[in-house]
Amino acid sequence: MSHRILIVEDEPNIVISLEFLLGEEGYDVALAGSGEEALEHVARRRPDLVLLDVMLPGIDGFEVCRRLRTEPGAPQVILLTARGREAEKIMGLDLGAACYVTKPFSTRDLLADIRRCLAVESDV
């Protein structure tokens, strides 16, 4: 069974690129455009991994990550950000994100990070 990944991102063109890359790898991909939508989707569909943009309209990515990670059986979270200050990276990891990816990212590195996170997930 293929892994379920939720993309939370409000930039249409970045969504198109991520959707293409993950679909090509055979993942089951869903989309959310805001923090609220993401929380709702996770509660309903229980994805294995959430690719989460930090700068979202409404509830931001850090807050979504915090809320997700406090639940039992929480999905893995990879934070994506175009800000990329060191302090924010540490904050993201403290909130329980598995990794913190700065935009613009290498598509190959991102796919490797996703594979690594999902492998950890399967081991548990």
Partner 1 sequence: HAMFWSMAVNVGLFTAGSAWATPGPLESRQARRFVDVFRAGDASEPPQWRADTPVAAVRALLARFLGADRTRRALDGHFRGRGLDPDGVEHGDVELMTFAEKLLAGSTGAASAHVALRSVAEEHRLDPDEVFSLLDETSRVLATSRELEDKSRQLERASGELRRANARLRELDRLKDDFLATMTHELRTPLTSIRAFTEILHDRPDLPEAKRREFLGIVLKENERLSRLIGQVLDLGKIESENLADFVDVPPGDLVHDAAATFRGRFESGGVRIELDVPEDLPALRVDRDRVQQVLVNLLSNALRVLQGDGHVRLEAALRPPGGDRRFVELAVVDDGPGVPEADRETIFDKFRQARGSSHGTGLGLAICRGIVERHGGEIWIETSDLGGARFAFTLPVAESPPDGGDPAP
Which spans of this chain sit near partner 1 (rule: CB under 8 A)? 10-14, 16-18, 20-21, 33, 55, 57, 82-85, 102-108
21 or 31: CB nearest partner 1: 21
Least Cβ distance, residue 46 to partner 1 (angstroms):
27
Please, what is the minimum distance in Å from the beta carbon of residue 83 to partner 1? 6
Closest by Cα among 94, 77, 89 to 38? 77
Q: Which is nearer to partner 1, 76 or 81 (by Cβ)?
A: 81
Q: How far is the CB of 124 from partner 1 (least distance, A)?
A: 30
Q: Minimal distance in Å, beta carbon 44 to partner 1?
A: 23
CB-nearer residue toward partner 1: 30 or 55: 55
69 vs 102, beta carbon nearer partner 1: 102
Of 104, 107, 42, 29, whose CA–CA distance to 71 is shortest? 42
